[in-house]
Each structure stands twice: as C-alpha cells, then as structure tokens.
Structure 1
Amino acid sequence: MTHHERPAPAPADDEGGLESLRGDCARMAPHWAVPERTPALPASPALPHGVSVPPSSARLLDALSEYGD
C-alpha cells in the first residue's frame, strides 16, 4: 500500500449488531432440514497403502517427538 492509499472503511452495522444476527439465525434455523446422521463405518487398516513420504518429511516428523516429550 502506498502513502496515498487508505484501507477500506469497515462496513457500517446497519442491522443492529450481534444480537440482531443471533435473532435472525434463530428465526431461520427451523427452515433448514438436518439430514439424518448415519454412523461412519470403520476403515480397514489395509486401505491406506501405497503412501510414500519424502525423506525430508520423515525426518521432520521423527523430530517432532522431541517437542512433545
């Protein structure tokens, strides 16, 4: 940004603030259908195969344990 440019002003709060927003959300919530939740099936340990990790990433991950101990 040069010395002639100024950041854009923050938008005006024409709607009444956070409490108004919360009220709007509460009024809209009944209109949104929530899909029925289905439990996720566990993945087989045999599925993630063929993954290769570059040596630099392997060294980085190996060194992370030093910070957690």
Structure 2
Amino acid sequence: MTNIELHPSLPAEPGASLASLRGDCARMAPHWPSAERGPALPVPPSLIHGVSVPPRSARLLDAMSEYGD
C-alpha cells in the first residue's frame, strides 16, 4: 500500500517550542468557532474504561521535554 501525501509537510521552524505553538493556536482560535455546549455532567466510574495511547504517540510525547522530563 502506498502512503500518498496530499499536502507536503512544512519544515519545523528552528527554535520552535510548545509555547510558540500554543500562541499560534490561540491566535487561530477566533477563526474556528465551536458549537455551544451545556455544562459537563459527571461520568460514573463504571463507564470509565481507561485510556489507550498508540505506541507511536507515546514515543512522540516522551521525546518532548515540555511534557515533563
């Protein structure tokens, strides 16, 4: 199977950090309105079955020092 990339990847900016990424997201947020939500309701513990993270994602987060080295 061939992995076809529709949009070329942009190179990462030298010195880019999690803080700069969050700033970029904050500036873009007004351009992407979300639907109105009601208050969050508590979830009974019997419905919580844990969280599964793909190994590839876990390795990515583990390699990011901003996430708690």
TM-score, length-scaled by structure 2: 0.31
Which structure ranks higher in relative contact order (CA pairs < 8 Å, sequence separation ≥ 6)?
A: 2
The structure having more radius of gyration, on CA atoms, is 1
**TM-score (norm. length: structure 1):** 0.31
